[in-house]
A and B are shown apart, each in its own frame.
Chain A
Amino acid sequence: MGTVITVTSGKGGVGKTTSSAALGAALAQTGDSVALVDFDVGLRNLDLVLGAERRVVYDFVNVIQGQAKLSQALIRDKRIDTLHLLAASQTRDKDALTEEGVEAVVNALRKTFDWVICDSPAGIERGALLAMRHADMAIVVTNPEVSSVRDSDRIIGLLDARTIKAENGESMEKHVLITRYDPARAARGDMLAIDDVLEILSLPLIGIVPESPSVLKASNLGLPVVLADPSSDSARAYADAAKRIKGESIEMAVPSVKKSLFGGLFRRAA
């Protein structure tokens, strides 16, 4: 029986899809089988981030409506053969996802894969609720700024109330993944400090991903950052987070400002 992880945040644009792809790829690189499921029906992106957009034949909605078998709709990644994608439908909306359909698909994936990663849409509506409904574990993606943290807090409340685990009286394993962390801005106090974020959310931290051009570049190339630029800080942060998801204990690296000879010169010139 695999583990179902929902990657969620409430707010849009914080890095759910990027993180889903990167964590999925990092888990798959360890040899585990991974299914990435895009719940953002109508606004699908995960196929682009994985560079699979030209290979989508059948999607999640086709499977739910019985027009395709799950095995036909799953797209195997060309670079990591343990990584699979179930794309969302771009021509439909969230109403196409039925509760029973989602349950059947997630439970079928759980039987075959070690990890089922549900990439949640933004918001607290149907799509987001269905993406968390069957999860065993939640990764709450947060940027270190007040609106993102508040929205994450709201989502955590929903994770504790609207999931199968919560309804059965069990508690769900929940972790915070801080993304787009800018050490320079944090040092200037323009961003919430990591400790403040964790104090507000009162959840354990699973990783800090620095804001980095390599993440953007990787997305545009259709490559998860752990494949595009494995030596970058962001790729390492995701790889470490994936190991922590698997239960390994790894020291948390807090990104810091890189001191260079030129950095000081530029600042003086500006």
Chain B
Amino acid sequence: MSLAFAASSGIRLAGRSFLAFVLEPMPPVAGWLADLDAVASQSLSFFANRPVVLNLARLEPDREETNAIIDALKLRNIRVIAVEGVDPSWVDPSLAPLGSGKETGKVVDFPNAAPRAQARPAAPAATPKGSTTIDRPVRSGQSIFHPEGDVIVLGSVSSGAEIIAGGSVHVYGTLRGRVLAGATGNPGALIFCRKYQAELVSIDGSYMTAEQSPPELIGKPVQIRLRNDAIVADILD
């Protein structure tokens, strides 16, 4: 997941998902590795620069076998970014499971032609789910990144702080920092705050800076939404 931010007049802020292959070794492992080598020999750079998630749920290996498989893939220059289906404490912390991934439903065939260097974006993000509550002020320099759902802040969001949410953002204190709601492609996301003094608010890539904000909003309880790709702010009560 990455957040693109191009500093130009046409700033777009967008979350992006990348496609990662899931490799699922089948017993016997030696045979599976031989098959893998055969495939790789047909297309030498197929796995180069491609992130791979290793799913060992079906194999049910022990700790030693798990690391042996990871090492075997490393030897073949396969970039394993995460391991699923085993005790996370067995493997290097950098290979911890990614959480619930979403299946694209596409099975990618091994191509004969030279592969693209870049992973391509997956299908549009699913409807965000699962909110997170922050019960302290979000300080300058802190960044809350919650691509899955709503963010609820019980304190204030300081100038220089940043909240990036896949869903809506609720701030029960003063909003002085930046809030990017619907950042993974959700135009229906909303921003609420009890006192509006934001540096920047953005929904699904459309944004409004402090300079563009109507002065009558300042210090008021405000709801921000998106209408026809334009930010609309309403004073509550």
- Distance, CA A160 to CA B136, complexed state (A): 10
Taking a contact as CB atoms under 8 Å apart, the answer to whether B140 and A157 are in contact is yes
Q: Is B158 an interface residue (CB 8 A)?
A: yes
Taking a contact as CB atoms under 8 Å apart, the answer to whether B139 and A153 are in contact is yes
Across-interface contacts of B155 in A (CB, < 8 A): 202
Across-interface contacts of B176 in A (CB, < 8 A): 200
Min CB gap B24→A, angstroms: 37
Taking a contact as CB atoms under 8 Å apart, the answer to whether B140 and A154 are in contact is yes
Query: A157-B141, A157-B142 are known contacts. Are A150 and B158 too (CB-CB below 8 A)?
Result: yes
Query: B141, B142, B158: which contacts A200 (Cβ < 8 A)?
Result: B158
Min CB gap B221→A, angstroms: 16
Across-interface contacts of A202 in B (CB, < 8 A): 137, 155-156
Q: Which residue of B lies closest to A202 (CB)?
A: B137
Which of chain B's residues 127-176 have a Cβ closer than 8 Å to chain A?
136-137, 139-142, 155-156, 158-161, 174, 176
Taking a contact as CB atoms under 8 Å apart, the answer to whether B174 and A153 are in contact is no
Min CB gap B90→A, angstroms: 25
Q: In the complex, how many residues of chain B place their beta carbon closer than 8 angstroms to a beta carbon of chain A?
A: 14
Q: Which residue of A lies closest to B138 (CB)?
A: A157
Across-interface contacts of A150 in B (CB, < 8 A): 140, 158-160
Q: Indicate the member of B137, B160, B174 with the most A CB atoms within 10 Å.
A: B137
Q: Indicate the member of B140, B156, B161, B176 with the most A CB atoms within 10 Å.
A: B140
Q: Is A251 an interface residue (CB 8 A)?
A: no
- Distance, CA A160 to CA B176, complexed state (A): 20
Q: Indicate the member of B136, B142, B158 with the most A CB atoms within 10 Å.
A: B158
Query: B136, B141, B156, B174: which contacts A154 (Cβ < 8 A)?
Result: B141
Min CB gap A218→B, angstroms: 32
9 closest cross-chain pairs (CB), A and B: A157-B139, A153-B140, A154-B141, A154-B140, A153-B158, A157-B142, A153-B139, A150-B140, A202-B137
**21 interchain pairs (CB within 8 A)?**
A146-B159, A150-B140, A150-B158, A150-B160, A153-B140, A153-B141, A153-B158, A153-B159, A153-B160, A154-B160, A156-B139, A157-B139, A157-B141, A160-B136, A199-B156, A199-B174, A200-B158, A200-B159, A200-B176, A202-B137, A202-B156
